[in-house]
Structure formats: C-alpha cells, structure tokens
Structure 1
C-alpha cells in the first residue's frame, strides 16, 4: 500500500472548495492502476477525505474507501452552536458564517453527498470537546440509510488524541482495510 500525504490550501489561504480541489488533484496524481484508492484524514483532513471519498476524485464511486477520524460534518447541527459562531473553523473555511440554504454551506456539509456506496470507517473520541461525537454518529446514520458499508468506533479520547496504536482501534482499522482490499480484488 502506498501512502501519500495530501497537501491543500488552509482556510486562511483560500475558501471552500479550494481545499477539495487540492486534495482531488493530489489523489489523482497518487492513483496507481489496479490498486485500491483509500483516502483518510483526521479532523479537517477527515472532512476532506470524506468529500473525496463520497464525491470521487473524478466521479462518484472511483474511491474504494474512506477512513475518517474525529470529523466535522455539519456546521448547522443543532447541538453544535460553535459551528455557527463568529471566527469558528467553518466561518474561516467558507469565508462567511454557515447558513441554511447557503450554497457553500450546503456543499461543504458532508451529509449532502452520501449515496455513492463508498465504504467508510469512522472513529471519534467520546471526550472530544472540539467536534461533538454526534457529528460522527449522525453521519454514520446518514451513510447507512444511503446504503454505504459503515464501520463506527467511538472510544475514550479527546480531539486529536485517538491513539490508533491501541489494540481495539488498530484492529478495527485493519479489519476494515482487509475487507476493502478483498472487495477490490474481487472486482
């Protein structure tokens, strides 16, 4: 398996969807013929990985799997008022406060793009004060309803502190990747 660290412009450098364009370009360049394309990320990187995985690099369905850790999903979630506060990361990403019906807010909300069937592994720390665990749980429900194969792990830990070397988390990731690569080999 080849791992490539995708570079993308941060929210202080460009507004949405520049980050998605950058990660798609990185994924396009990293693709190897006949090999699974798995995208992964943590926090903002997980947000981007989900967008690439659900929307595709060039078309929906051309990504084989997504691993998303501690991902922000929906800036308008009712239990996350910080997502709509002045100066929050969504504000920086969009260049304006997120708002219902705003095209950029709708476009950067991950649940808007479920349905391609891409398998997804989600992991979140139960003690995450930066991104509520309900972001992951709500996304899991939306993915399952849209027909995606979903693996969810909620473990002890704060934002940025999920230790993927923990036996339970490492086993969940290993099991997911084994299933994905086996499914790709069958195609």
Structure 2
C-alpha cells in the first residue's frame, strides 16, 4: 500500500443531513482522505447527489495514484454508485469501501424503506416502487458488474439499515465477478468501532490486496 492512495470520503446523514465522521483512522492506514460535499435531498432529488460526487472525484483524483471512494451510511450508498458506475466510465475507480450502506429500498425485509417520509422518499421525491425508473437507478444492485473491488462492513445490530443490505449486495457482487470483502460485526447504526483491531485488520487486508 502506498501513502499516495487517495480516498474520496462521502458523509452519511440519510441524504438529508451532513453527519461528520472521524476518518483519522484511514489516514493512519496510509491514505490521503479528501472529504466531499453533495447536495442534500432537501436541495435536489436523485441523481443530483451522484452528479456532485462525480464532480468531487474529478477534482480529487491525482494522476498515477490509486483512487478509492468510501463512505458511511448514505455516503456508502453514493460511494458504491460512484465506484460501480465510474467517474467517467465503469472501471475508473480502483476500489470502494462502504460502511453500513443502504442499497435496495425494495428489499422484502425492509418495508420501512417504502414508508411515507422515509429518507428514500426524500431522496427520490416519491416512495420507492417496483417499475419506477428512479427507484431502479438509485438501487445499487442494478449497477453491479465491471469488477471493481468492494469492501462492505455492517453492524449486526443495525436497526436503521438492515445488515442484509450489505449481505445481499455482497452476493450480487460475487455473482457478477467482483472481488468482495464483507464483514458483519457487533454494533448498531453509527456505532461501528473503526479503530478496533479486527476492523482495522479487515480494512488493511483489503487495501493491501487492492492498492
């Protein structure tokens, strides 16, 4: 792994608020972290957020340096979209790290994602629904393929975003030929202990294989 590797970090907050995260642990792993901003759902509807993080990625890339996108919660959702769909084209991001990401609002075990006023509703401007083009576009599993390596980390006690969101995505990524590193561990939403030895080791192993 090289210290020149760049991580574009996308914050969480349900797409409607800005929740800051301590990312100093990524810097201790030898990564240069660049935080990105994007329009919140109260300012613009999907896919404006993807447009914004693509623009941030263009500004953050360093020629010749590995480029990784990462994020927590809704930031993890955007990181997955950016990594799988690409900045200019699929394959131009070296890896994705997504922590407790919402992935699929139509998942059978997550009916709350389809309730009036939920964060997906705010993001799309309407309740997610089968057959809806915007729902399909914002669903991460729609865009698997291309082989971008992905790290997924999710708390088993997460009641805001079910851990099955990451587990189901991992299965879809594997079927599509991606290298996927997946870990579920103790903790609720926003309670992942990134400085814990096993978590750091898991992330370090992924980076050592990818960067």
**Same-fold status (TM-score > 0.5):** yes
Query: Does 2:136 match 1:106?
Result: yes
Shift of residue 117 of structure 1? 0.4
Shift of residue 2 of structure 1? 2.2
Shift of residue 123 of structure 1? 0.2
The answer for the alignment partner of 1:136 in structure 2 is 166
1:124 to 154, 157, 160: 154
Shift of residue 24 of structure 1? 0.5
Q: Partners of 1:32 and 1:84 in 2: how far apart?
A: 39
Q: Tell me the SS of whatever aligns to 1:4.
A: strand
Residues 135-158 of structure 1, C-alpha deviations (whole Å, 9 max, x = no match): 000000000000000000100000
Q: Partners of 1:117 and 1:28 in 2: how far apart?
A: 21
Name the TM-score, length of structure 1 as normaliser: 0.96
Q: Partners of 2:102 and 2:197 in 1: how far apart?
A: 25
Q: Partners of 1:92 and 1:68 in 2: how far apart?
A: 21
The answer for the alignment partner of 1:51 in structure 2 is 81
Query: Does 2:64 match 1:41?
Result: no
The answer for the alignment partner of 2:122 in structure 1 is 92
Provide the aligned length of Structure 1 versus Structure 2: 181
Following superposition, which runs of at least 4 residues in structure 1 exceed 6 angstroms of deviation? none
Name the TM-score, length of structure 2 as normaliser: 0.85
**Greater share of helix:** 1
Q: Tell me the SS of whatever aligns to 1:5.
A: strand
Q: Partners of 1:165 and 1:65 in 2: how far apart?
A: 21
Counterpart mapping for 1:60-79 below 5 A: 60-79=90-109
1:152 to 179, 182, 185: 182
Q: Partners of 1:17 and 1:49 in 2: how far apart?
A: 13
The answer for the alignment partner of 1:4 in structure 2 is 34
Q: Partners of 2:32 and 2:201 in 1: how far apart?
A: 20
RMSD (Å), alpha carbons: 0.5
Residues 54-105 of structure 1, C-alpha deviations (whole Å, 9 max, x = no match): 0001100000000000000000000000010000010000000001011100
